[in-house]
Amino acid sequence: MTESSPAPALLEVSNLAINFRTIDGEVEAVKEAGFVLPQGRTLAIVGESGSGKSTTAMSVIGLLPGNGRVVSGSIRFDGQELVGLPESKMRAIRGRSIGLVPQDPMSNLNPVTKIGTQVAETLLVHGMATSKDVDRKVVEVLTAAGLPDAAERAKQYPHEFSGGMRQRALIAIGLACRPRLLIADEPTSALDVTVQRTILDQIDRMTEELGTSVLLITHDLGLAAERASDVVVMHRGRVVETGPARQLLEDPQHPYTQSLVRAAPSVAAVRLTPGAFAAPSRRLHAVDTAVEAGAPGAGTPQAAGGAVPSAAAQDNAAVQDNIVEIRDLSKVYKVRGKGEFHAVRNVSLEVPRGQTVSIVGESGSGKTTTARMLLKLVEPTAGTMTFDGRDVAALKKDELRQFRQRVQPIFQDPYSSLDPMFTIERILEEPLKTYRRGDRAARSARVRELMDQVALPASMLTRYPAELSGGQRQRVAIARALALKPELIVCDEPVSALDVLVQAQILTLLGDLQRELGLSYLFISHDLAVVRLISDYVCVMKDGELVEAATSEEVFSNPRHPYTRRLLASIPGNELGIEAAEEAS
């Protein structure tokens, strides 16, 4: 029997160099990069934020920023040279033959146009639907991207979607024309693990059934190991290592690849370096997780005190100091034509002072709404919240101003949470000026200290958010939250946009600050590997309800609720991480 011949190359990039014009001259963003993507295969490009991976991908589809240009090299798609191709011809390829799932769901969806209309536009422009059947096909592609109630969702606007739902809408648009090559730039960074698996399975089906190739840009090494056939590692604009995905990530040869693998979080790991976060000393008593799933009352959180505590738990309760206590919190929205929607239902939890409580769950589970109610950005329908013993709902004027300084948020989306008209320096100085912290010299020194804490050079202070990568913008958002030295930080997906090396730095930074300053964290995340590393306690939410809560160790080593088990089983690369941990032990 003769060996099958290798698949023909669909995309060939060789000796690619890309420069950007700046006020300081030409900047070399990509230098002599090269790789080959065969027909029907998935190639992942991994690397730090700013390594050149997204720039390389955007050059393939001809969407470099106005100040960027390919200065040398070749990009061949199905034998056709794309470098220097007129825009009219590139437009015919873009969308129909090469699809794109961009990274940022907010800036890539039209805020004043319904989601269904935006999907329909893609289908109609490329001849994939007619005016008669376009509505049906819109529902089909939205359903394929994992959106429930697609027919109703198509009638909504982007602001009515959660971050994960907006990302799924972008994925639907990218897959709508069933392109031969799909460029997916961090396609699941805003998605919870169960929906992430749905989307990745859909991409896999396209690859297998249609022969579609996928160029996957990601900072998630577990995802790359599980979904890509080959991996390209980029560092400072250069390709430093390439090879089969599993082999490269299990036995990396280049020092930079080795550092990426070491920094990648895994649910097999117990937690960060000992001492980085306070060790869990007691259970949350918001939920009695001793109740087995399937037993009477299983999956229904009991209010604090509803469980019968052990003698040790009674001793701990006597000295417990909670900075936050939430009791029977609910939020109900009025939905046109549908009556009431319970976004959060009877949630009770506590945040012990100086510790980290994480809330995990799928997009739409109510975790962010819970956090926004605590921040007093959303008014609860029922229930109580206390911060340091004070009723949050009763805070007025001066008390509320003091509360705002002691409680700071880190929002999920660094694109919409930073003022695009402000320089980075002004963004970081704004809270200091608003609350009259120090004179001009003291504020300037504090701004530079913050930049150093989040590993950004002071030279970036004169730039605007649009001039920074997604990861750099998130670091600025984190620095701003730290500016007033708060006691509680509500972190809504604070590291979802960061590559693994910067992610590890930020998590270590948060741990150091917690240890040194006694900070408390309410951490909202869909990344269970990160939650495993940083949490003292974990609360699991589903459909607005708290279904499980216990110490991090208990939740990850002995999950009681079927939904928690399903979340853990959906983590990409989980098997690889466990194997690596076992080998290390």
Contacts (Cβ under 8 Å, ≥6 apart) of 406: 387, 388, 486, 487, 488
Helix 163-175 and helix 115-125: axis angle, to 10°? 10
Asked if the model's pLDDT at residue 319 lies above 60, the reply is no
In the prediction, which pLDDT does 317 show? 43
CB atoms closer than 10 angstroms to residue 50: 20
State whether 500 and 574 are in the same domain.
yes
If one counts the domains in the chain, the total is 4
Q: Quick one: pLDDT band at residue 575, thresholds 50, 70, 90?
A: low
State whether 521 and 439 are in the same domain.
no
Average pLDDT over residues 88-110: 85
In the prediction, which pLDDT does 579 show? 44
* Domain-embedded: residue 2: no
State whether 85 and 197 are in the same domain.
yes
Asked if the model's pLDDT at residue 267 lies above 80, the reply is no
In the prediction, which pLDDT does 506 show? 78
pLDDT digits (tens, 9 = 90+) for 60-71: 999 998 899 999
State whether 113 and 74 are in the same domain.
no
Q: Quick one: pLDDT band at residue 285, thresholds 50, 70, 90?
A: very low
State whether 128 and 13 are in the same domain.
no
Least confident window among 307-311, 386-390, 458-462: 307-311
* Domain-embedded: residue 401: no
Last residue of a domain, one of 178, 206, 232: 178
Asked if the model's pLDDT at residue 72 lies above 90, the reply is yes
CATH for 81: 3.40.50.300
Dihedral pair phi/psi, residue 7, rounded to 5°: -65, 140
Q: Which of 117-121, 225-229, 257-261 has the highest mean pLDDT?
A: 117-121
* Domain-embedded: residue 233: yes
Amino acid present at 313: A
In the prediction, which pLDDT does 189 show? 67
Q: Six-digit token pair at 282?
A: 């007691």
In the prediction, which pLDDT does 167 show? 79
State the residue for tokens 């698996």: 197
In the prediction, which pLDDT does 40 show? 85
Q: Which of 6-10, 157-161, 185-189 has the highest mean pLDDT?
A: 157-161
* Domain-embedded: residue 393: no
* Domain-embedded: residue 395: no
Last residue of a domain, one of 444, 465, 485: 485
In the prediction, which pLDDT does 61 show? 93
- β-bridge mates for residue 250, sequence order: none
* Domain-embedded: residue 139: yes
In the prediction, which pLDDT does 306 show? 33
State whether 158 and 188 are in the same domain.
no
Q: Six-digit token pair at 402?
A: 């003091």
Contact 540, 301 (CB under 8 A): no
Asked if the model's pLDDT at residue 492 lies above 70, the reply is yes
Asked if the model's pLDDT at residue 241 lies above 90, the reply is yes
Q: Quick one: pLDDT band at residue 177, thresholds 50, 70, 90?
A: confident
Rounded CA-CA distance 402/484 in Å is 11
pLDDT digits (tens, 9 = 90+) for 131-164: 889 999 999 989 887 788 899 999 999 988 876 7
In the prediction, which pLDDT does 500 show? 77
State whether 192 and 211 are in the same domain.
yes
Last residue of a domain, one of 201, 229, 264: 264
Percent of the chain whose predicted confidence (pLDDT) is above 70: 85
Q: What is the pTM of this model?
A: 0.70
Average pLDDT over residues 305-333: 64
Domain that holds residue 469: 414-485
Q: Is 231 helix (H, G, I), strand (E, B) or coil?
A: strand
Q: Quick one: pLDDT band at residue 320, thresholds 50, 70, 90?
A: low
Average pLDDT over residues 383-410: 92
State whether 358 and 215 are in the same domain.
no
Contact 113, 120 (CB under 8 A): no
In the prediction, which pLDDT does 302 show? 36
Asked if the model's pLDDT at residue 371 lies above 50, the reply is yes
In the prediction, which pLDDT does 138 show? 94
State whether 237 and 350 are in the same domain.
no
Asked if the model's pLDDT at residue 268 lies above 60, the reply is no
Q: Which of 97-106, 432-441, 469-478 has the highest mean pLDDT?
A: 432-441
Q: Quick one: pLDDT band at residue 514, thresholds 50, 70, 90?
A: confident
State whether 495 and 476 are in the same domain.
no
Least confident window among 174-178, 216-220, 563-567, 581-585: 581-585
* Domain-embedded: residue 578: yes
State whether 450 and 509 are in the same domain.
no
* Domain-embedded: residue 269: no
Report which of residues 10 and 414 the model is more confident about. Answer: 10
pLDDT digits (tens, 9 = 90+) for 533-550: 889 999 999 999 999 999
Average pLDDT over residues 369-375: 93
Rg (CA), the chain: 24
Residue 316, CA distances (Å) to 133, 282, 304, 402, 549 in order: 64, 7, 14, 30, 17
Report which of residues 15 and 289 the model is more confident about. Answer: 15
State whether 329 and 191 are in the same domain.
no
Average pLDDT taken over every residue of the chain: 82
